[in-house]
Structure 1
């Protein structure tokens, strides 16, 4: 993409500028030749000016094809000074109405960085204004020289102003780029920190569980998070969705995840959410409300699930027989609610607990049927790993408005050893 933009800028640089200059000079010559109220004092000089401008346009076109020639770009506006001088002499000299065309060339050079580019347009303007003396050394009288000197002062002021504005614009652009690089660096570091907070593979969990998860942020840093870890004789599983996106949401997500994990010794999952609510509470009541929806569960070794839902509402239990149950709760999100209730559900062998963020629903075109369509995906996808892969593939197909997160845990109880008889 960057190479394409550079090629476009090269193509639309000298050639685009010279196209306008050549067009105006040619138009000036045609008007002078075919309208009775404009003067043609020297047809050869006038058409010579057109030829010089068109030759400069050919050179600019070659530069668009061969960027190495751009080092000679100054030759194009230099030719334009000569072309305008010839046009001026050929269309009435001091009575020519076409001298202002040279302003385009003055601005062209003065916009380049560096104070030396104030001198170049002044020298070029002198060439344009003094061109008549090459054809007639006696030239205009002293009054005309005074007029030309005053015109030169005006163009010099213009060159200084354009050069300074260009310099200030370059400085602002450099500062903007520096801030962007610094911000991108902060985002990259924040993304690395957030990635480091994701749980490792499920090798640390009891063998009774097969757990998989994925998080596809809409930006470099997202507000979704998930976690799992051993708890008691089973495991704990968490998925949260912080309101908003970006670094701020990522910081809240990291804080909520850390506080929930710190409550690993508490048997009641609701306790972890209460601690999180206290941890992210702000003393500034006038600030914008920041809330987090969250599902947190403890799954025992015998398949009993104690779970709490803080306004999330996107946890489903896919039974081994293909039926799907929604785990519903009236509790409010963290940051809005103040108390949460723990519920109890039992998973049988082969049952899979699936929790997703609301970004998953955005993957479907029909918002009203999105949850039903996702349930249909669960019905036809019995494997936890396949469920996570299917959601991640959907999220990768196109740009997403929200983070997409999914975690799936299948309960596979270990066989009970047979006691020997006698």
Structure 2
């Protein structure tokens, strides 16, 4: 006469796993950035050679820029293979400023149409935290503009110097805005991560409390009964629950299914369970259901809520006399030891929809088994119109509470389910 309880602790990825994921993305980010820059540089050079309306003013300089960009690509590939080299990552975009300067010089200098490529390494550096990463790309931009003057120190036009100053001012603004946006994004990310850790901690605590509320043993249950139960929540906290406790003349058994999932449904499940237990002296199970409804009612006295609970509450005396109330649940099956089965269901509505319920009397013979399941169990049997009969066939083939609960628990472990899976099986063994 032992209780079989299985409640997995399905939690979100641990902070260490999240840190590893972020670290992996950080490793590959330089390679992605440099692939774009190298690709644009190659396309620019090839286009300048093939398209007649683009000019090549210095072929060696242009192809030297392409080679430098490809060397940067090789360097980022090496960084990916050896994460310790991430500390020198910024040397790659620094090399790109030179590469773009050579590309600009080789494709028309001030007339080059490829100058906009300088924004790529600029944003790469400016997006990193720290105000110093605004200064670094400006130095690189100056290198890109001054490189043609160094390679061809002819007459330096005043317009070129004005162009350099204006471009530096514009790119300084771009770098500043990029750096600030990156800083704010990082701040929001840290805040979100902190809130997530707090929420995960609270949900973890709620899951532990919910597991503690499920009966851990059948101590106190009369020897006339064998009871088994299993609960497999779809999330850390579920809306299903089962319970049993001794009464004056026998024992009471409950299975409830709160609409929805998560912490909110778990809180309602805890309230319904607690009220059911406090009504231990109520001879009529319908009174217990009504008490649970009253505990969930609003200040206006209206028990209707946006979230309802289906519930099956069974009280069995030591002589086998069973009284039960079904609040819109309907997934309760009586397996007769002599053969055959029948559904224990009524036309009453769930808690939160109705305010009155009725109880039904059923006589149990030694060996009869009452099994109640949540609707998540039907998903394990296909979830279609035939699932109900498939479950009945399974229960009929496994009438022993141990086999029945263990079998459905194994299905719940093997089959992915989006709803909570809960089973309660009670056998009346008689005196």
Distance, in Å, in 1 between the alignment partners of 2:221 and 2:186 is: 56
Q: Give the 5 Å matches for 1:41-56.
A: 41-56=57-72
- Corresponding residue for residue 418 of structure 1: none
Where does 1:335-346 land on structure 2 (aligned, <5 Å)? 335-346=352-363
User: Could you say what secondary structure the match of 1:299 adopts?
Assistant: strand
- Counterpart residue number, 2:146: 130
Structure 2 runs not aligned, ≥5 long:
1-16
Residue 357 (structure 1) aligned to one of 369, 374, 394: 374
| Per-residue CA distance 1:85-136 (angstroms, 9 max, x = gap) | 1111222222222211111111111111111111110011111111123223
- Quickly say closer, same or farther: Cα 1:85–1:343, change in 2 above 3 A: same
Residue of structure 2 equivalent to 1:71: 87
Which residue in the other structure is 1:369 paired with? Answer: 386
Shift of residue 10, structure 1, vs aligned partner: 4.5
In the TM superposition, structure 1's runs of 4+ consecutive aligned residues that sit over 6 Å from their partners are none
> Paired residue for 1:140?
156
Matches within 5 A, 1:297-376: 297-365=314-382, 367-376=384-393
SS in structure 1 at match of 2:406: helix
- Any idea what the Cα deviations from partners look like across 1:174-202, whole Å, max 9, x if unmatched? 22212211111111111111111111211
1:214: which partner in 2? 230
Relative to the length of structure 2, the TM-score reads 0.91
Give the counterpart of 2:297 among 281, 289, 311: 281
| Cα RMSD after superposing both structures | 1.9
SS, match of residue 57 in structure 2: coil
Asked if structure 2 preserves the Cα contact closer than 8 Å seen for 1:238 and 1:296, the reply is yes
The answer to whether the 8 A contact 2:293-2:351 is kept is yes
Correspondences of 1:13-28 after superposition (within 5 Å): 13-28=29-44
Moved more, 119-128 or 393-402: 393-402
Q: TM-score scaled to structure 1, two decimals?
A: 0.93
228-237 vs 327-336, greater mean Cα deviation: 327-336
Shift of residue 3, structure 1, vs aligned partner: 8.2
Quickly say closer, same or farther: Cα 1:391–1:148, change in 2 above 3 A: same
**Unaligned stretches of 5+ in structure 1?**
415-422
Higher relative contact order (CA 8 A, sep 6+): 2
Q: Output one character per residue of 1:358-414: Cα deviation in whole Å (capped at 9) or x when no partner.
A: 111122225211111111011110210111111111122233221111100111123
Write the deviation string for residues 243-290 of structure 1: whole angstroms up to 9, x where unpaired.
111111111111111111001112221111111111110136698532
> 99, 112, 131: which is aligned to 1:83?
99
The structure-2 alpha-carbon separation of the partners of 1:357 and 1:92, relative to structure 1 and needing over 3 Å to count, comes to same
Aligned length in residues: 414
Deviation, structure 1 residue 33: 2.8
